[in-house]
A and B are shown apart, each in its own frame.
Chain A
Amino acid sequence: DAGVIQSPRHEVTEMGQEVTLRCKPISGHDYLFWYRQTMMRGLELLIYFNNNVPIDDSGMPEDRFSAKMPNASFSTLKIQPSEPRDSAVYFCASSKLAGFTGTQYFGPGTRLLVL
């Protein structure tokens, strides 16, 4: 298995632009998680899905952030409009069962820089 796939690996954009991050979870995994990691705040859970349905989005910082999972093999995290403080590494992770007690497999991350 190729593991969790994220694209792009790096993104540089200007403030105000829309940014879309993509994730392909491991086939057969029921849970998908989006995280953000910064030096200041560490690793933060933004939102997670179970069977393509958003379960908890309480970690989403504000309305500029939105996430979708149209099918079991694809999810997007969108930031519109982007701001410099959104600069971080965004990770997607997936888990087979009982997401919080099962092993989460992380993707390589997308490094986002908003100028």
Chain B
Amino acid sequence: QKEVEQDPGPLSVPEGAIVSLNCTYSNSAFQYFMWYRQYSRKGPELLMYTYSSGNKEDGRFTAQVDKSSKYISLFIRDSQPSDSATYLCAMIESGQNFVFGPGTRLSVLP
């Protein structure tokens, strides 16, 4: 079993839809949780960063962490074609063991 699992997609949605991207993990010692966005042929860029269980909102993006279920989500409201990218979750165990998920490819169709 991989430490971090993520549905690889591709996921296609119409413009304006709500998108839900999810990751599950097996290591209960992970403390920090991040979502990165990676456009084609570019490096990843950090979108959201959370430490504790609960929700964190930033504009159209909401990151949700449920440590008891070892499950994190990223919600995108009013999705736009410019949101089309690969989304990678990442998590850290206390300054070590930094792990990325395999990524979910998202296409938002105009």
Residues on A lying within 8 angstroms of B by beta carbon are 4, 42-45, 56, 91, 93, 98, 100-101, 103-109
Contacts and interface: CB of A to CB of B under 8 A. Distances in A.
Nearest to B96: A56
Interface string B24-43: 00000000100000000111
Given A106-B43, A106-B44, 6 more contacts: A42-B101, A100-B32, A103-B49, A104-B46, A106-B45, A108-B41
Contacts of B98: 45, 100
Interface residues of B, number: 18
B44 A103 contact: no
A108 B43 contact: yes
A93 B32 contact: no
Contacts of A104: 46
A108 B42 contact: yes
A43 B92 contact: no
A45 B95 CA distance: 13
A43 B99 CA distance: 8
B101 A93 contact: no
Interface of B: 32, 41-46, 49, 88, 92, 95-96, 98-103
A109 to B, nearest CB: 6
A22 B101 CA distance: 26
A103 B96 CA distance: 15
Contact of A43 (B44, B45, B46): B44
Contacts of B101: 42
Nearest to A59: B98
Nearest to A98: B95
A41 to B, nearest CB: 8
A42 B46 contact: no
Given A100-B92, A106-B44, A107-B43, A42 B32 contact: no
Contacts of A108: 41-43
Given A100-B92, A101-B32, A101-B92, A42 B100 contact: yes
B84 to A, nearest CB: 18
A43 B43 CA distance: 11
